[in-house]
Amino acid sequence: MNRIQTIAGLRENPNVDVLVIGGGINGISVFRELALQGVDVLLAEKGDYCSGASAALSRMVHGGLRYLENGEFKLVRESLLERDRLLKNAPHYVAPLPTTVPIFDLFSGMANGAVRFLGLSRRPGRRGALVIKTGLAMYDFFTAARRVVPTHKFRSRAETLKVWPAINPAIRNSATYYDAWVSHPERLGTEMLRDTMKEKPSARALNYARVSLNDASLVLNDGLSGETIDVKPRLVVNATGGWIDLTNSAIGAVAPKLMGGTKGSHLIVDNRELHDALDGHMIYYENEDGRICILFPYLGNVLVGSTDIRVDDPDQARCMDDERQYILQSLSFVFPGIEIADSDIVFQFTGVRPLPISQDSFTGRIPRDHFCELVEGAGMLPPTLCMIGGKWTTFRSFGELAADLVL
């Protein structure tokens, strides 16, 4: 069904079982799940599909090694399962990624990690070989029943410097494990959307269609024609990620503040020396302040990031000069002999993580898991199911959870 047919059909009959607001990866996922169950579902996206946080991720498809410190074992197991499913189901976009962790200490982080795990400290700290070994052993254990990628291995300092001679010479050891990366996340999202509508022609989706409240009813504002179209859903699914609170306000859903997103900025660097120094691996490293950063070859260049800064308005999120300097400083720590000029930065982007509201002073401790919150409708307005949290890797399981609740 094309755009003209979809709008004409809504003019004739504005009733729909479920209106999904947000055409990012999570919105497309729940739209797909509901459509394949035969639900009369309409997806509305205010811009391009997968143009928000779904286009600004780190390009990692991963279990979340550092989430083990937060005790998020369920999330890590789920993420690893979804990673392996994506490796199987979308090999044209998702591929294994050897990931190497530089290690500068042996025992560092054991006591700090324990008190962080118990919730007694919120500060980041350096992680030594024993802490990293424990985490990687758990990673391997969680995937033991389905060995899709190789298990981890440790290297001595001499072995590490032989493979990566440009790495910080203060290194003590390194550890290599496998996760995955996605080359074109936006294409995967739109491919899922097209496949869904091919399988279920009655399923409808509109981009450049903003949902708002008009008197006591919901309307679609067509950004191409300027037309306003009534829509009368029995239920709304708010899948707008960092925009959830703004969307709730726009559609009259009376709810407390739910979101506390943080922005992550990344740089794309065109530097052949840096690219070759990686030897095809992602370097998953700690900056001097203990914050985790990533660095890996991406489509002929190098992707490096990221920051983790609270934001109130996702539409205003940008990569700022201080973030660029922070990322470049982290690069000089892990590869001190490689100089990156400003002219080497060919692109920069920022995405807003759709994290739940939290008063935690350290953003890295905010849970990365996903859940749904139901907001009862006011007056004649339908109830709204808000999809909160989540990470790109788990979009399928999050869509399944939301669809089960809708059904």
CA distance 263 to 308: 5
pLDDT tens by residue, 23-61 = 999 999 999 999 999 999 999 999 999 999 999 999 999
CA distance 222 to 236: 18
Task: Give the pLDDT confidence score for residue 395 in this predicted structure.
Answer: 97
Domain of residue 374, CATH code: 3.50.50.60
Q: How many CB atoms lie within 10 A of CB 5?
A: 10
Q: Is there a single domain that holds both residue 70 and residue 176? A: yes
Q: Which domain holds residue 168?
A: 64-182
Q: Is there a single domain that holds both residue 168 and residue 290? A: no
Q: Is there a single domain that holds both residue 273 and residue 378? A: no
Task: Give the pLDDT confidence score for residue 291 in this predicted structure.
Answer: 84
pLDDT tens by residue, 110-161 = 445 444 444 444 455 567 889 899 999 999 999 999 999 999 999 999 999 9
360 is a domain residue: no
Instruction: Decide which of 182, 213, 235 is a domain's last residue.
Output: 182
Given a contact cutoff of 8 angstroms between Cβ atoms, the answer to whether 290 and 230 are in contact is no
Task: Give the pLDDT confidence score for residue 373 in this predicted structure.
Answer: 96
Structural domains in the chain (count): 3
Q: Is there a single domain that holds both residue 221 and residue 296? A: no
359 is a domain residue: no
Task: Give the pLDDT confidence score for residue 144 in this predicted structure.
Answer: 92
Q: Is there a single domain that holds both residue 45 and residue 76? A: no
Q: Is there a single domain that holds both residue 249 and residue 380? A: yes
Task: Give the pLDDT confidence score for residue 121 in this predicted structure.
Answer: 47
Domain of residue 292, CATH code: 3.30.9.10
Q: Is there a single domain that holds both residue 127 and residue 21? A: no
Residue 295 structure tokens:
């660095």
Task: Give the pLDDT confidence score for residue 116 in this predicted structure.
Answer: 44
CA distance 328 to 268: 11
Q: List average pLDDT for each run of 10 residues in the chain, which is 407 residues long.
A: 90 97 98 97 97 93 88 93 97 97 77 44 65 92 93 96 96 96 96 96 96 93 95 98 95 92 94 97 90 94 92 90 94 95 95 85 73 91 95 96 98
CA distance 217 to 214: 5
